[in-house]
Amino acid sequence: MSIRIGRVLATVVAIVVGLLVLADLFVSQWPNSFGGFSQIINVTGALLVSWAAIVIAFALFLGFANVISVHWTRIRSQKPGTIYSGILLLSLVGTLIVGFYSGGPNSYGSQLVFDFVLQPLEATFFALLAIFIAAAAFRAFRIRDLETFFFVLFAVIVLLGQVPLGIYLWPELPVIKDWILNVPTLAGVRGILLGVALGTIATGLRILIGADRPYTD
């Protein structure tokens, strides 16, 4: 019973809050205020949005809690990889100690951690992608018909047109690259954006009318 009440409550919250914020969006487009009505909506909407921002930030904490609990369990159950989990938690706790002891993210300690540990690691992980993209370029492209031909052709022109080297190969290359990006790609992306917008609206509406309830278990 209480569970059902919980579900209904969640659905009601999503619908009411969503409609209020949506109303705020449209009301703020109106020129006049209808006797303070629009102002009430505006204030309410703004308040709800600001609360949501805080809850979203807190939700990140939950993700972190998950990471910690996974690795803590792994250590306790002595599963393979315990040592790595230990290192993970150690570096986490170390970062926390440095951060809180030295007084926040702008403190000297946190800056050191960011500049010399976090930034190089994170950046290098993503740098590895380039190498694998190169490998994929070799394996993935097979021209079978006109369509794949165009795909590869456009990709190659843009690739070469983007770097100064392309000019040596063919002076017109950068110009053609610009044309590709400004005309056919613009058209294609705009069509995609319209579709995305429609999809977003439909998905959002489903949440606002309670047809979709991704927040329930």
Neighbours of 65 (CB within 10 A): 10
CB 209 within 8 A of CB 18: no
User: Which of 35/214 has CB closer to another protein?
Assistant: 214
Shortest gap between Cβ of 32 and another protein (angstroms)?
14
- Tell which positions 14-33 bind another protein, by CB under 8 A: 14-22, 25-26, 28-29
Position 160 contacts another protein (CB under 8 A): yes
Q: What is the DSSP string of 118-185?
A: IHHHHHHHHHHHHHHHHHHHHHH----SHHHHHHHHHHHHHHHHTSTHHHHH-TTHHHHHHHHHHTHH
Q: Least Å distance between CB 35 and another protein?
A: 20
132 contacts another protein (rule: CB under 8 A): yes
Smallest gap from Cβ 67 to another protein, in A, equals 6
If binding is defined by CB under 8 A, does position 59 make contact with another protein?
yes
Q: Is 40 in the site for another protein (CB under 8 A)?
A: no
Distance CA 142, CA 149 (A): 9
Among 40, 75, 82, 158, which residue sits at the site for another protein (rule: CB under 8 A)?
158
Which helix H or strand E contains 39, and what residues bound it?
helix 37-76
Name 46's Cβ contacts closer than 8 Å, sequence gap at least 6: 24
| Minimum CB distance to another protein, residue 117 (Å) | 5
Tell me the one-letter amino acid at 207: I
Within 60-119, the residues that bind another protein by CB under 8 A are 60-71, 80, 84-85, 87-96, 99-100, 104-106, 110-119
Kindly state the smallest distance separating residue 177's Cβ from another protein, in Å: 9
Tokens of 176: 């053609």
Q: Does 151 bind another protein (CB under 8 A)?
A: yes
Residues 186-205 that bind another protein (CB under 8 A): 186-205
Which letter does DSSP use for residue 116 in this model? Answer: I
Q: Which tokens hold the place of 31?
A: 């020129």
Question: What number of chain residues touch another protein (CB under 8 A)?
Answer: 167
Least gap, CB of 109 to another protein (angstroms): 10
